[in-house]
């Protein structure tokens, strides 16, 4: 049949059929385009793979390249660095080689989703509670690429589209203290300890055995300064504000175009 791996030819983005929803189609478009335009098959070797539902399509696209005999010799040498358990699964499910950041502390290029992106490419991330490892991977990457759909693009400021608050990874024993410091010292409007699937599930526990607080500051005028103030509070391990970190963002639109910011 023509579907044997040796006959596989990379699908052209133009020929893809729409997915179930406009947003899903936009995510796939952004991710495929980002991979197609940014992977350097000759020179890249260590690839960071983020978390979330958009990066699924990044791993899928890399998996397609792996099936194409023209690209296979390059892609099978790639070592993919995950940002969490979902990301490990994505790498393995797409036949890619899994590596660790401990063995590969310098990453050539990393792809990740975002919960909100502003025009300066400042980001809110951590909707999936993987923000620490995502920040470790993205700040260890020579090039960090964001893939997202149109709902994440916030031309005015952060905190406008993503209204669930800035995700903060906190040491469990300090979460009550951090909550009160956020309200009393940093004028946070509302802060919630993130819970698992049901009320009975208890707090979400991160891959590093910490809790997540979602801290709503309303529209954020100066994300950099907020990030620095947050980091000074005892108990906050890392914030979901990714400052001066992303190099380029691919934002899939509902009309089939991609905004490159």
Applying CB under 6 A, the residues found at the interface with ligand 5RP are: 50-54, 112-115, 125-131, 134
**Smallest gap from residue 11 Cβ to ligand 5RP (A):** 21
Instruction: Closer to ligand 5RP by CB, 48 or 235: give it.
Output: 48
Dump the DSSP string for 192-215.
EE-B-SSGGG-B---TTS-EEEEE
Residue number with CB closer to ligand 5RP (35 or 131)? 131
Which residue number places its CB atom closest to ligand 5RP?
Answer: 52
User: What gap in Å lies between CA 145 and CA 75, rounded to an integer?
Assistant: 18
Length of the chain: 261
Give me the least distance between CB of 44 and ligand 5RP, in Å please: 21
181 or 211, CB closer to ligand 5RP? Answer: 211
Beta strands in 122-210 (DSSP E): 123-124, 141-149, 166-170, 190-193
241: phi then psi, degrees, rounded to nearest 5: -90, 115
Comparing CB distances to ligand 5RP, the nearer of 116 and 181 is: 116
Active-site entry in 24, 76, 134, 169: 134
Backbone phi and psi for residue 56, each to the nearest 5 degrees, phi listed first = -50, -40
* Neighbour order of strands in the sheet with 241-242: 116-117, 123-124, 241-242
Q: Which of 28, 36, 79 is nearest to 56 (CA)?
A: 28
- CB contact at 8 A, 145 and 109: yes
Q: What angle do CA 217, 134, 260 make, to 5 degrees?
A: 80
Distance between the two ends of the chain, CA-based, in angstroms? 41
**Strand pairing partners for 166?**
215
Active site includes 134?
yes
CA 98 to chain centre: 18
Q: How far is the CB of 192 from ligand 5RP (least distance, A)?
A: 16
Closer residue to ligand 5RP (CB): 67 or 148: 148
Report the SS3 class of residue 79. strand
Q: How far is the CB of 102 from ligand 5RP (least distance, A)?
A: 21
Q: Please, what is the minimum distance in Å from the beta carbon of residue 20 to ligand 5RP? A: 15
Between 67 and 210, CB nearer to ligand 5RP: 210
Q: CB of residue 259 vs ligand 5RP: minimum separation in angstroms?
A: 16
Residues catalogued as catalytic:
134
């Amino acid at each position: 049949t023509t579907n044997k791996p040796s006959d596989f030819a990379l699908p052209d983005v133009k020929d893809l059929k729409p997915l179930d929803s406009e947003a899903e189609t936009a995510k796939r478009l952004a991710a495929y385009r980002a991979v197609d335009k940014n992977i350097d098959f000759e020179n890249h070797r260590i690839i960071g793979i983020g978390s979330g539902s958009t990066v699924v399509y990044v791993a899928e696209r890399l998996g397609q390249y792996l099936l194409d005999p023209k690209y296979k010799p390059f892609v099978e040498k790639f070592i993919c660095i995950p940002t969490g358990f979902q990301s490990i699964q994505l790498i393995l499910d797409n036949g890619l080689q899994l590596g660790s950041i401990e063995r590969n502390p310098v990453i050539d290029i990393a792809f990740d989703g975002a919960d909100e992106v502003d025009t300066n490419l400042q980001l809110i991330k951590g909707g999936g509670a993987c923000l620490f490892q995502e920040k470790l991977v993205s700040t260890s990457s020579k090039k960090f690429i964001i893939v997202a759909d149109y709902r994440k693009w916030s031309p005015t400021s952060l905190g406008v589209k993503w209204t669930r608050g800035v995700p903060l990874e906190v040491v469990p024993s300090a979460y009550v203290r951090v909550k009160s410091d956020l309200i009393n010292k940093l004028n946070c409007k509302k802060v919630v300890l993130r819970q698992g699937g049901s009320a009975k599930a208890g707090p979400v526990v991160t891959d590093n055995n910490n809790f997540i607080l979602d801290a709503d500051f309303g529209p954020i005028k100066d994300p950099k300064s907020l990030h620095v103030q947050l980091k000074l509070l005892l108990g906050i391990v890392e914030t979901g504000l990714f400052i001066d970190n992303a190099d380029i963002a691919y934002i899939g639109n509902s009309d089939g175009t991609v905004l490159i910011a």
